[in-house]
Amino acid sequence: MQTKPVESSKRATAKKYVRHFLADFAALERDYPGGYPKMIASAEGAYVIDADGRRLLDAGSHLGACQVGHGRAEIASRIAEQVLKLEFIALDAGLSHVYVAELAERLAPLVACDEPIFSFTNSGSESNELAFKIARTYHARRGEPARTKVISRIGSYHGSTIATSAATGVLAFKSGFGPLAADFLHAPAPYPGGNVDNKDRDTWWRAALADTEALIEREDPKTIAAIIAEPIAIPQAVKIPTLEYFTGLRKLCDRYGLLLIVDEVVCGFGRTGKMFGAEHFGVRGDIVSYAKGLTSGYVPMGAVAVSGRVNEVFKEVPLLHLNTYAGHPVACAAAMAALDIMEKERLVENAAAMEPILRTELERIQQSVPRIREISVIGLLSSIVCDISDLPNPDAALRKARKEAYDQGLLVRFGRDGNNLSAHFYPPLLVGNKDIEDGVRSLEAALRTL
Ligand SMILES: Cc1ncc(COP(=O)(O)O)c(C=O)c1O
């Protein structure tokens, strides 16, 4: 009985005091007076429960972090034990602790990086930021200080700091902040996502690789430190490159002496049906960045793996990079507990097994939503792209679709890029057939409002 009034007063408080992302509250207030922000009160498994008691499938509001599901008691108890044992000590001035040692030892045989040594961070942005510092320092210490440029791809996302925004290849995420970090270049994506015919994909990846090589030559290879690439980029749409393209990037790096930074922040820890996204292409990174699924989102933590070959230059003279919470014991405990669940419940295998079911469901709704132009699925990472070129107010249409999904019990990520509206559907890795079927039915209802 008390729930509703409490919730609506907090709604106003949240709007007044907290900055939220990617929501135009003024427009939402005009369209749905008093309706936003929606207040989420609790969560369990693949579902969240809002302050009105409504249960919604979380198919993306964890932003790709939640692998093992919400509300896992096993993780809660490990975190509580860790706080009582050792809540925090910095990895500084000769000190270490067993929890970070155990986590790194556990990750070492899993990651797609040879003889890895790990640095720990608090987020994906920090991981990529550190990856850039390591790449530049590596070359400088080997007598090539002019190698400072980093190449990323158009349509990629690498984070929200000044350098990772510079690396990001989506204008909307990097405009309006004044000068970003220098020496970040953009090569074409293997395909742009959206309305591209399958038959054109082959042409796209070949052209993208050739253009990347031309960019390296034009800029002078001796000024380039690294290429950064997500195995599967997701802004605008889930973009699955060909094996030839991704192995081609590795070969370009080897040919020109560049380091390959693989950004596994969203693909890592089972999301794509393999433990890491680069495994789809058999590619190993010189530097690999992680976050999100590492702790399944229970405690913020990121990581950077550096290969033994690259690490040679840091053996005698360490990298001067300080980060208070690196290897935080509570985050280490959360990561170990999340990895235990992933293994015990075979969640990577489940993500792979669910892929055809998710694809079939998404293809089914194409019958009733003729606007759908593209469906892309790998493991439990998927997107649908709709053509909305005929709609007079595309942003209002997006808000309406999101509201309808919510009312139908689904949290899914909608986005717009010009005339394309995308919906990313990526639930926790423990979902079964029925969760997917019900969730996609809700998505269908939402897309039918367009
Ligand atoms: C591929 C990729 N890299 C980096 C980041 C940045 O991670 P964070 O938001 O934890 O800083 C993200 C976040 O979505 C991402 O998807």
* Cα–ligand 1 centroid distance for 153 (angstroms): 15
Q: Are residues 443 and 423 in contact, defined by beta-carbon separation less than 8 angstroms?
A: yes
* Cα–ligand 1 centroid distance for 391 (angstroms): 31
* Cα–ligand 1 centroid distance for 316 (angstroms): 32
CA-closest residue to ligand 1 atom 3:
158
How far apart are alpha carbons 56 and 409 in whole angstroms?
Answer: 4
Domains of the chain, CATH where assigned: 4-68+346-448 (3.90.1150.10), 73-344 (3.40.640.10)
Q: What atom of ligand 1 comes closest to residue 160's alpha carbon? A: 11
CA-closest residue to ligand 1 atom 7:
124
Token digits of residue 15: 């709007």
CA-closest residue to ligand 1 atom 16:
266
Q: What atom of ligand 1 comes closest to residue 291's alpha carbon? A: 10
CA-closest residue to ligand 1 atom 4:
158
Q: What atom of ligand 1 comes closest to residue 300's alpha carbon? A: 10
pTM listed for this prediction: 0.97
**pLDDT tens for the 450 residues of the chain, in order:** 444 555 667 888 998 999 998 888 999 999 999 899 999 999 999 999 999 999 999 999 999 999 999 999 999 999 999 999 999 999 999 999 999 999 999 999 999 999 999 999 999 999 999 999 999 999 999 999 999 999 999 999 999 999 999 999 999 999 999 999 999 999 999 876 555 556 677 888 999 999 999 999 999 999 999 999 999 999 989 999 999 999 999 999 999 999 999 999 999 999 999 999 999 999 999 999 999 999 999 999 999 999 999 999 999 999 999 999 999 999 999 999 999 999 999 999 999 999 999 999 999 999 999 999 999 999 999 999 999 999 999 999 999 999 999 999 999 999 999 999 999 999 999 999 999 999 999 999 999 999
Sign of torsion, CA 231 324 310 170? positive
Cis peptide leading into residue 37 (ω within 30°):
yes
Q: What atom of ligand 1 comes closest to residue 159's alpha carbon? A: 6
Cα 339–296–63 angle (5° rounding)?
150
Best mutation site among 127, 132, 264, 265 for ligand 1 pocket (most ligand atoms within 8 Å of CB): 265
* Cα–ligand 1 centroid distance for 164 (angstroms): 9
* Cα–ligand 1 centroid distance for 113 (angstroms): 20
Cα 281–127–92 angle (5° rounding)?
130
* Cα–ligand 1 centroid distance for 418 (angstroms): 23
- Using a 10 angstrom Cβ sphere, with 0-12 exposed, 13-18 middle and 19 or more buried, the burial of residue 105 is exposed
Residues within 6 Å of ligand 1 by CB: 63, 123-125, 128, 157-160, 230, 263, 265-266, 291
Report the run of H or E that residue 166 belongs to, with start and end. Answer: helix 162-167
DSSP classification of residue 29: H
How far apart are alpha carbons 377 and 374 in whole angstroms?
Answer: 10
How far apart are alpha carbons 231 and 277 in whole angstroms?
Answer: 5
Q: Is 214 left (phi over 0), alpha (psi -120 to 50) or beta?
A: alpha
Distances (CA, A) of 95 to 90, 92, 120, 327, 335: 7, 5, 15, 12, 21
- Using a 10 angstrom Cβ sphere, with 0-12 exposed, 13-18 middle and 19 or more buried, the burial of residue 314 is middle
Token digits of residue 400: 């309406």
Q: Is 238 left (phi over 0), alpha (psi -120 to 50) or beta?
A: beta
Reference 436, options 381, 399, 386; nearest CA is 381
Q: What atom of ligand 1 comes closest to residue 230's alpha carbon? A: 1
A 10 A CB-CB count for 406 gives 19
Reference 415, options 439, 397, 398; nearest CA is 398
DSSP classification of residue 234: -
Q: What atom of ligand 1 comes closest to residue 128's alpha carbon? A: 4
